[in-house]
A = this chain, B = another copy of it.
């Protein structure tokens, strides 16, 4: 393979890691699990990543890119209100997955939030970016309480994700997302 400088193994490793970190958590996922799931020999993982934390950093980067995609889709809408509603619709697509394994970003933030590692900051930055994006939209609607509203919205999404996981019921998350849509629609 000359055109493709490297194989797709690195990408396969990150994809498998993201999936496993979501389903089982970072601490409960071994490198052997990631290697098996991505069809890469165990010892070979270290050719692509120096440490397990480096894999986590790549996974967080994938989540960041995914959130950026959701934001870019929302930004095709003409008004700030519609942009927020678009983001809520995008989140609603993942309800079933969240009811089964929780919010991938929220879970990582809670898990790394309990550790003293550089990953903590990187994971938390995901939630912070989300809050700030929503805040900008509320500010664009002329709300002086944009920050508080953004925290309320993201907080609701995260909390409903926890409850949906605990009760194994995606309906809880759907219900809260729908409620937040009516809240946003009802704002002056």
Closest Cβ of chain B: how far from A95's Cβ, in Å?
A: 14
- State the copy count for this chain: 2
Interchain CB contact (< 8 A) of A113 among B27, B109, B165, B172: B165
- Measured CB to CB, the residues of A under 8 A from B are 23-25, 27-28, 101-102, 106-107, 109-111, 113-115, 123-124, 127-128, 131, 148, 151-152, 154-163, 165-167, 172, 175-176, 179
Cα distance, A28 to B115, chains bound together (Å) = 9
Contact for A109 among B25, B158, B162, CB less than 8 A: B162
Q: Per a CB cutoff under 8 Å, which of B23, B107, B128, B159 touches A159?
A: B159
In the complex, are the beta carbons of A162 and B106 less than 8 A apart?
yes
Partner of A166, one of B23, B115, B127, B156: B127
- Min C-beta distance of A130 to chain B, whole Å: 10
B148 contacts A159, CB within 8 Å?
A: no
Residues of the B chain whose Cβ atoms lie less than 8 Å from the Cβ of A27: 25, 27-28
| Nearest B residue to A159, CB-CB | B159
Q: Contact check: which of B111, B123, B176 meets A151 at CB < 8 Å?
A: B176
Choose from B101, B154, B162 the contact partner of A158 (Cβ within 8 Å). Answer: B162
Given A27-B28, A28-B27, A128-B167, does the pair A110, B162 have CB atoms closer than 8 Å? yes
Beta-carbon contact of A155 and B176 below 8 Å? yes
Going nearest first, the 9 A-B pairs with the smallest beta carbon separation are A159-B159, A155-B159, A158-B159, A124-B166, A158-B162, A113-B165, A109-B166, A27-B27, A155-B160
> What's the minimum C-beta distance from A106 to chain B, rounded to whole angstroms?
5
- CA A8 – CA B115 in complex, angstroms? 30
Contact A163 B154, beta carbon cutoff 8 Å: yes
- With a cutoff of 8 Å between Cβ atoms, the chain B residues found around residue A113 in the complex are 101-102, 165-166
A166 to B24, CA, bound (A): 20
